[in-house]
Structure 1
Amino acid sequence: MNEQKQQRQPAPHEKIAPGQFITFDGIDGAGKSTQIELLANALRQQGKTVHVTREPGGTVISEKIRELLLSTEQQMTTMTELLLMFAARAEHIQTVLKPKVAAGDWVICSRFTDATMAYQGYARGADLAVITQLAALVHDDFQPSLSFLLDLPAEAAAVRRQHRGEAIDRFEAEALSFMQRVRDGYLAIAHAHPERCVVVDATQSVEQMAAVISQAVSRL
């Protein structure tokens, strides 16, 4: 008599394999979207469940906040901008990032708190200690497993953005000196957190960058 095969259920003591949270940062034009897509496809080919998201954004509420932040139709104070960033992040973390990582998914996010440090802190002049306090309040010990900084000179990034021919948002409309401060901020963050930050030379070819990223991810 044929025995009906039963699907194996995890034993009570077994735990779901932990997921991973990977972030990509860098000034606009550095190639984040391309590298995120390449990494996500590679991980899926390995059988991983991968969720790709972005900040600000990733939820209905956070995407509405993103529209406000990127719109060129109005100005806002640095503190307003900073608090909106963390409001969007709080919703994103609690409803998407934490649950998916806890479920064992690999989550790849375009920008995270490093971006807030670089843009609102180093570039706009917001108090870095205040940003650190807000980060502790919003996500505490929930941190990326690995953070990639795609590093590109501000001048080169500006040329790439111009060639794309897309409508610019409120941040992309900033002066070159602003973008240089953002880049300097990112490099300072990477220097301060070498245990999770990997600086990738974004002047390399797409394939060369992907190889560096793949090698770093393989160590997780």
Structure 2
Amino acid sequence: MANGIWITFEGGDGVGKTTQARLLQEWLEAEGRTVVRTREPGGSEVGRLVRDIVLHHRGDIVPRAEALLYAADRAQHISTVVRPALVRGDVVIQDRYLDSSVAYQGAGRVLDAHEVRALSLWAAEDALPDVTVLLDLDPAVARARLDADDKPFDRLEAEREDFHRRVRGAFLDLADADPDRFLVLDASLPPAALAEAVRARVGSTL
């Protein structure tokens, strides 16, 4: 996957990942780059089916089954969307990747984080992004943002605050362990300031 550039956005629900991904896409396209915007789960045809199950299924899904569903989505997504785009030399901007599985299914669902990460790496054939932007925000502030949107919560958004605090802690631990890949930003800053910091980091890889 040598010629393309792969950027992922991570963080809890309500931190502004979609906004920053859009702003980055607009900047890169203005610079003449071809951009593929995608997400997990749901970035492939199979992934859209998985997304409906893991985020909107009304019945119970046990934690290990949830982790396996995310891994299945990831295997399909990397093989059919991300890898071909990078081989073409495109820039891939992705909302969530395996760090979300480690944080949500590992810390949030209290599974073994190392096993969850190993499962994801196996599914993705060890593929890792060039840059991961972690938008960090207190879960209470993020929840207030979600409440203001006045949209129904999905299965993960609806979890209790202690779940989301474990997720936040796991994300920060992942960033501490891999500082060369991660850019950690305070998501309470204005969107324009965040976008400038993201552009500076991504620009250094172009």
Q: Secondary structure at the match of 1:23?
A: strand
Aligned-pair CA distance for 1:133: 2.2
Q: Secondary structure at the match of 2:37?
A: strand
Partner of 1:193: 178
8 A Cα contact 2:74 2:120, kept in partner? no
8 A Cα contact 1:72 1:169, kept in partner? no
1:14-29, aligned counterparts within 5 Å?
18-29=3-14
Partner of 1:158: 143
CA RMSD of aligned residues (A): 1.2
Residue 216 (str. 1) matches residue 180 (str. 2): no
1:68-79, aligned counterparts within 5 Å?
68-79=53-64
The match for 2:38 among 15, 32, 53 is 53
Structure 2: tracts of 5 or more residues without a match: none
Partner of 2:158: 173
CA distance in 2: counterparts of 1:172 and 1:121, whole angstroms = 16
Query: TM-score w.r.t. structure 2 length?
Result: 0.97
> Residues 166-208 of structure 1: CA distance to partner in whole angstroms, max 9, x if unpaired?
1110001100111111101100000000010010110100111
Q: Secondary structure at the match of 1:143?
A: coil
Total equivalences in the alignment: 205
1:128-139, aligned counterparts within 5 Å?
128-139=113-124
Aligned-pair CA distance for 1:17: 7.5
Q: Secondary structure at the match of 2:171?
A: helix
8 A Cα contact 2:2 2:86, kept in partner? no
8 A Cα contact 1:58 1:96, kept in partner? yes
8 A Cα contact 1:90 1:138, kept in partner? yes
The range that moved more, 101-110 or 134-143, is 134-143
CA distance in 1: counterparts of 2:48 and 2:202, whole angstroms = 28
CA distance in 2: counterparts of 1:143 and 1:27, whole angstroms = 20
> Residues 74-111 of structure 1: CA distance to partner in whole angstroms, max 9, x if unpaired?
11110000000000010000000001001100000000
Paired AA for residue 195 in structure 2? A
**Higher Cα Rg, which structure:** 1
Q: 1:99 to 1:23 in 2, by over 3 A?
A: same
Q: Secondary structure at the match of 2:43?
A: coil
8 A Cα contact 1:26 1:149, kept in partner? yes
Structure 1: tracts of 5 or more residues without a match: 1-15
Runs (4 or more) in structure 1 with deviation over 6 Å come to none
CA distance in 2: counterparts of 1:162 and 1:72, whole angstroms = 21
Partner of 1:184: 169
CA distance in 1: counterparts of 2:58 and 2:15, whole angstroms = 26
CA distance in 2: counterparts of 1:155 and 1:30, whole angstroms = 11
The match for 2:49 among 52, 64, 74 is 64
Residue 34 (str. 1) matches residue 3 (str. 2): no
CA distance in 1: counterparts of 2:28 and 2:2, whole angstroms = 15
Q: Secondary structure at the match of 2:8?
A: strand
Aligned-pair CA distance for 1:71: 1.1
Partner of 1:111: 96
The range that moved more, 109-118 or 128-137, is 128-137
CA distance in 2: counterparts of 1:136 and 1:202, whole angstroms = 27
Partner of 1:82: 67
Partner of 1:8: none
